[in-house]
Amino acid sequence: MDVTIFGCDLDEAALFRERAPFFGITPVITAEAPSAETSHLALGSRCISVGHKSPISHQDLSTLSALGVRYISTRSIGLDHIDVAFANSLGITVEPVAYSPHGVADFTMMLMLMAVRQTKAALLRSEAGDYRLAPTRGRELRDLTVGVVGTGRIGSAVIDRLRGFGSRIVAHDHTTTATADFVPLDQLLRLSDIVTLHTPLDATTHHLIDRDALNRMKTGAYLINTSRGALIDTGALTAALESGRLAGAALDVVEGELGVFYTDQRHQKAEVTALRRLSRLPNVVITPHTAYYTDHALTDTVVNGLINCVRFEKGLQHD
């Protein structure tokens, strides 16, 4: 069985070549995302694998369907880079891939600690040779209430870690699968010293944290996002940070990251974009959508993506 692997990094490619034969799969590998120039590589593959770094347009989906593609396994938990309903209308099934939640949960904890201990400002001072202490002291997680929005596999793993720090934990989700004190979102925002986002991005969660939500948060609270950038209204967040209403934010994902994250922007013109305006704030930590980026997650993603394709061909349902 041929499976075309689009948007493949070098380490991903090596692992696909190593593992695919165990599943009876011959991988056709390209570093490019599906496009008018590359979609022909899917000819002969009913199943393809795609990354999360580039959106797949309606035109590309139509081309893939015409080439005989009937299944897309995306190497991500989120599906916001693919119009799943449109793909389904073309006879293409789209499914995410499961990977260890622990890398993202660990990274989330790191961002929380960086935010409440004012790490970015301390590093900037140290790099400039200023080794004085900050005028305000950091805070300890055991003294804080942390609100976890979204309690799937990653949110639940974050909750497990927070217990070790002794934090009070409140949570919000449509289902109460994790052991936590579940409250309505408005109440979570009012109670929390830190709000951390782990909910999927869809039409109902776009700008979940908007100006009104930010105004309901505690003065001096922190916002953490390792899910999807568009969960937050970037303009409203920037205003809340610049005004001092929020004490800080730590963001692994940001609105407008597409085409910027995963590229070298050092020599680009210093255009004052929303992302650049945020990144200039001393109380904002921004990382380039890297929370998932571990060796363990890579193995999970490759192997489970191959399993997805085999299950589809055998007519089995995705777990």
| pLDDT tens digits, one per residue of 6-40 | 999 999 999 999 999 999 999 999 999 999 899 99
251 and 114 together in one domain: yes
Q: Which of 149, 88, 140, 92 is nearest to 116 (CA)?
A: 140
Does 319 fall in a domain? no
Does 117 fall in a domain? yes
204 and 220 together in one domain: yes
What pLDDT band is residue 271 in, cutting at 50, 70 and 90? low
Q: Per-residue pLDDT tens for 221-251?
A: 999 999 999 999 999 999 999 999 999 999 9
Does 300 fall in a domain? yes
58 and 172 together in one domain: no
Q: Which pLDDT does position 266 carry in this prediction? A: 83
203 and 193 together in one domain: yes
Residue 319 in this model has a pLDDT that exceeds 60 = no
275 and 309 together in one domain: no
264 and 300 together in one domain: no
72 and 125 together in one domain: no
What pLDDT band is residue 272 in, cutting at 50, 70 and 90? low
Quick one: average pLDDT of 284-304?
96
The yes-or-no answer on residue 228 being catalytic is yes
The yes-or-no answer on residue 257 being catalytic is yes
Residue span of the structural domain in which 195 resides: 102-286
146 and 279 together in one domain: yes
Question: How far is it, in rounded angstroms, from Cα 65 to Cα 126?
Answer: 55
Residue 198 in this model has a pLDDT that exceeds 80 = yes
CATH of the domain at 236: 3.40.50.720
- Which of 91-95, 177-181, 314-318 has the highest average model confidence (pLDDT)? 91-95
Residue 80 in this model has a pLDDT that exceeds 90 = no
- Computed over every residue of the chain, the mean pLDDT equals 93
Does 143 fall in a domain? yes
Residue 187's Cβ-count burial label (10 Å; 0-12, 13-18, 19+) is middle
41 and 151 together in one domain: no
Q: Which pLDDT does position 17 carry in this prediction? A: 96
Residue 172 in this model has a pLDDT that exceeds 90 = yes
Q: Which pLDDT does position 18 carry in this prediction? A: 97
Q: Which of 46, 228, 255, 311 is catalytic?
A: 228
256 and 110 together in one domain: yes
Does 318 fall in a domain? no
Residue 54 in this model has a pLDDT that exceeds 90 = no
The total number of structural domains in the chain stands at 2
238 and 303 together in one domain: no
* Tokens coding 194: 């830190």
Q: Which pLDDT does position 259 carry in this prediction? A: 83
12 and 147 together in one domain: no
Residue 74's Cβ-count burial label (10 Å; 0-12, 13-18, 19+) is buried
Does 207 fall in a domain? yes
Residue 112 in this model has a pLDDT that exceeds 70 = yes
Q: Which of 46, 75, 139, 289 is catalytic?
A: 289
Q: Which of 46, 153, 257, 311 is catalytic?
A: 257
